[in-house]
Structure 1
Amino acid sequence: MKKIIHRLKIVALLLGTVFTIGYLTPRKWGNFAPADCTISIYVHDQGIHTEIILPVNNEYFNWNQFLPLTEIGRDANSDYKYLGFGWGDRAFMLATPTSATIDPVITFKALFLPTPSTMQVQGYEVFPPDRATKCVKISGANYLRIVNFIKNSFQLDAAGNTIKISYGYHNNDSFYEAKGSYSILRSCNDWTAEALREAEVNTPVWSTLSSAIMLHLNSGCQC
């Protein structure tokens, strides 16, 4: 028994070392500033979950053509200037309005079993002032790449429209059917990192934790 416990401690130490190195190691090193820094995008750290915030409309894309603004929240608002996108475990996100309501059974399933996913979309009339939000600038071409990544994360019906599951916890958000399965191997923050890499934004080697995303968030062009 002592040998088994000793081996488990060694395994735990090795895993902890690997995860720490991955947490602290960026995927890109050195100066990688793009020549074109025209679009500001934002990442909001919600504690255990990250949200990508993009402008509703600019010269490159109008989100209202893909997600009608008046259908996003209960308030049927068409004046949103920004949209926040977050991908995650469907059961967990629909049943967990705050960290105080976390269900351990749902959490266990989300971490250790491949489970259905959802996309949460939240509209903002003004940019949400929050110390936990960081901004980076990217090129127009990279902006289109991150837009296409997010669009392709939605499940669509036969007519090519997004599929709403339900309204969210506020008057300005909803949950939609999404592609892909959630697990500890592909978490909500891993999805955020994948989206950011499409836009050539730096991310950590191990991106499961939101704090790792925020630590390495860098496009070479700061806002």
Structure 2
Amino acid sequence: MLKKIARFVKTITLCFFTFVGVYVGVFYLLSLWPHRENTAIENQEEKEIIIYLSTNGVHTDFVLPATTATQDWQSKFDFQGRVVRWVAFGWGDRGFYIDTPTWSDLRATTALQALSGLGASAMHVTTYAVFTAGENRVKLTLTPKEYQTLVHYIDASFEKEHGMYKPIEVQGYEVTDAFYEARGSYSLFYTCNTWVNQGLKQCKQKAALWTLHDQGIFRHYQ
């Protein structure tokens, strides 16, 4: 009996580590492989709208101008009189965002629920009066058509009620950020960085074939 239990535990352990090894290997290789649009001929339309990609070392955000001819984000949010020239959007698991402000706050239940794909998602919106290129930031210049595509992608990721974004009634990390209900589910195969990577694909920017981590995006801009 004990031998059978030992064999069972050994088999389960072997399967687990095999899965982890294949999982890590596949997502790393796919993050190295550029999406086919990366080799497309440069669009001849004048590129005139500047955006940024920003990472904190784990999580990537889109940082967009607050107001352009294409989209006025100030009409979508109450910025409470603050001077806002840039708005950052980051999609992710609600539990990670709200219940885990620092890694020391991470609980096993939060991580397991997020990785299972069963948890709710949230959009983290942060405002800036000034935002410039720097370490862990990449500047991109889009055509109006490309920018419109990205705006639609971000807008479609918000959960709406009567056409309005639905705020989550919790305190942000600072006075300059807030959380909103979002569509989709975070999982072992679709993370906050996958969401950004998909948005880059849609607006024909450099992107990985598939990635779970921020460096899978940023290595294509080095």
Provide TM-score, normalisation by structure 1.
0.85
Matching residue of 1:32: 41
Secondary structure of residue in 1 paired with 2:179: strand
Does the Cα contact within 8 Å between 1:142 and 1:199 map onto a contact in 2? yes
Of 7, 32, 51, 1:41 maps to: 51
Of 127, 131, 136, 2:131 maps to: 127
**d(CA) in 1 for partners of 2:149, 2:27:** 29
Does the Cα contact within 8 Å between 1:45 and 1:211 map onto a contact in 2? no
Query: For 1:39-80, what per-residue CA distance to the aligned partner results, in whole angstroms no more than 9, with x for missing partners?
Result: 11111111221111000012221111222322xxxxx51x11
Superposed, which structure 2 residues align to 1:11-90 within 5 Å?
Answer: 12-28=20-36, 29-30=38-39, 32-35=41-44, 36-70=46-80, 76-77=81-82, 79-90=83-94
CA pair 124-9 structure 1, distance change in 2 beyond 3 A: closer
Residue 161 of structure 1 deviates from its aligned partner by 1.4
Does the Cα contact within 8 Å between 1:146 and 1:198 map onto a contact in 2? yes
Does the Cα contact within 8 Å between 2:200 and 2:207 map onto a contact in 1? yes
Of 193-202 and 99-108, deviating more is 99-108
Of 27-36 and 149-158, deviating more is 27-36
* Matched AA of 1:147: V
Does the Cα contact within 8 Å between 1:201 and 1:217 map onto a contact in 2? no
Secondary structure of residue in 1 paired with 2:159: coil
CA pair 127-30 structure 1, distance change in 2 beyond 3 A: same
- Does residue 197 of the first structure (1) align with residue 193 of the second (2)? no
Does the Cα contact within 8 Å between 2:52 and 2:133 map onto a contact in 1? no
Residue 167 of structure 1 deviates from its aligned partner by 3.2
Matching residue of 1:161: 164
CA pair 9-162 structure 1, distance change in 2 beyond 3 A: closer
Considering only CA atoms, is the larger Rg found in Structure 1 or Structure 2? 2
> Structure 1: where are the runs of 5+ without partners?
71-75, 219-223
CA pair 69-32 structure 1, distance change in 2 beyond 3 A: farther
Does the Cα contact within 8 Å between 1:83 and 1:123 map onto a contact in 2? yes
Secondary structure of residue in 2 paired with 1:33: coil
Superposed, which structure 2 residues align to 1:176-215 within 5 Å?
Answer: 176-215=180-219
Secondary structure of residue in 2 paired with 1:212: helix
Does the Cα contact within 8 Å between 2:89 and 2:125 map onto a contact in 1? yes
Secondary structure of residue in 2 paired with 1:141: helix
Residue 7 of structure 1 deviates from its aligned partner by 6.6
Matching residue of 2:106: 102
Which structure has the highest helix share of the two? 2
Provide TM-score, normalisation by structure 2.
0.85
**d(CA) in 1 for partners of 2:124, 2:109:** 21
User: How high is the sequence identity, in percent, across the aligned residues?
Assistant: 27
Does the Cα contact within 8 Å between 1:146 and 1:195 map onto a contact in 2? yes
**d(CA) in 1 for partners of 2:194, 2:155:** 17
Residue 9 of structure 1 deviates from its aligned partner by 5.8
Q: CA RMSD in A?
A: 2.3
